[in-house]
Structures are given as structure tokens and as C-alpha cells.
Structure 1
Amino acid sequence: MKKSLFIASTFLIGISGFAMAGDHPSFAEADTDGNGNLNRMELTTALPELDLMETEGTTEVTVADVKRALPVVDFADDDVANAEPVGKEQYEQIVDAMDDMSDANNVSNI
């Protein structure tokens, strides 16, 4: 009986993690000022689990800032070197990387 409960609870925890993995706002929802780029507040509101370092005196966030916090994101090297702002394409890359990490974590927990 205990083994059945353990297996059932492990299964439910795994399923709940998979449901949460894709549960991020769209870029349009995240870009509250509609300027086509995400500032620090917009990005951390949309993705609170993204641990960005505070940068004194600026609300801008670049792909280089995100790459430091989340090295697995596969941004174009030029975007990182040129400190490009986080636009729709970069936001989708961030979300995909976070979902991949969440999926991998859920699989390893089973």
C-alpha cells in the first residue's frame, strides 16, 4: 500500500511539473509598455524564477545579463557581445531553455 501511494504521488508531482513548465506569459503579455523589448521589471515579472543580478541605475536588461544568469540559453554570439536588448526572439529562447531545464529536472526526479 505504501509503495502504491509513493508511486502515485511521484507520478502526480511529475505531471504537475510538466504542466508548470510551459506556463509562461507570451511576449506580448510580458511587454507591458509595448516597445518590443523587455526591461528588467517586465522580464522578472514574466519569469520570476529567472535570477537576474541587480544593475544599479538601469532598468534595461540585455541578452548578456540573461546569459550570466542562465548560461544554457543559446543566444547568437553577436547578440551577447553587442549587449542586445531582450526582444521577442530572445524571450522565446529564454522560455524554451527554462522549460527544457524544468523538463530535465522532472525526468530526473521520477
Structure 2
Amino acid sequence: MKEEIIDVDERGNLLAAESTTNYGLIKPGQDDFYNVDDFNQNMDTIDKQLKVNESQIKNLSSPYVIPEGTDIPVKDRIKGKMYFKVTSRQSSGGTIDSVKVSPNMGIKIQE
């Protein structure tokens, strides 16, 4: 944990509080008085990080389907987002007989 100067006492001595390693949240000492500004600063830091996490999760949880006949160049794709390219042709090795498709999937296999 790192030490951070947060205040000066009435004699001009620097007062320090511990802060958390990852987000720098202020951790008051056992003898410190409750400081609303420290609490609010911690809440702002947490709120900001939660919003970043939410945005990243939304991007990951909404995969993008690339329809047959179209494409999105790799340079235009978003890092961490899942892309699924839909095709009516078998692209892996093997014979067409090895592809098993449910009649309800609506996929047309071309030979």
C-alpha cells in the first residue's frame, strides 16, 4: 500500500493516509476523524470504474453476426468483441455428409 499526503495539521505537519493499491481509495487510519470529502472521492472513483466495467461487459456480451456476403475489416473490429461470420458453405475440412444440421435451424447447405 502506498502513502499519500492528504492534509496538513495546525502546526504544518504533513498528514498521510494509506490508500488502496489498485484504485487509490483513501483508507483512513484508526485515529482519523471521518472526512466526508474522502468518502465522496472514494465513491467517485468506484462509480467511474464501475461504468468502465459496465461498458466493457456490454461490448463482450453482445456478439456481432456478420451476414454472408458482407464483412467487417479486421482493422475496424472492436478488440474484445465477438464476431460470428454466417455462411451457407462448409469451411472446415471433411465432406458435406459430416455436417449435421437441425431442420429448424434454417441453414441451407450448398454442394
- Higher strand fraction: Structure 1 or Structure 2? 2
**TM-score when scaled to structure 2?**
0.32
Which structure has the greater CA radius of gyration?
Answer: 2
**TM-score when scaled to structure 1?**
0.32
Structure scoring higher RCO (CA < 8 A, sep ≥ 6) equals 1
- Higher helix fraction: Structure 1 or Structure 2? 1
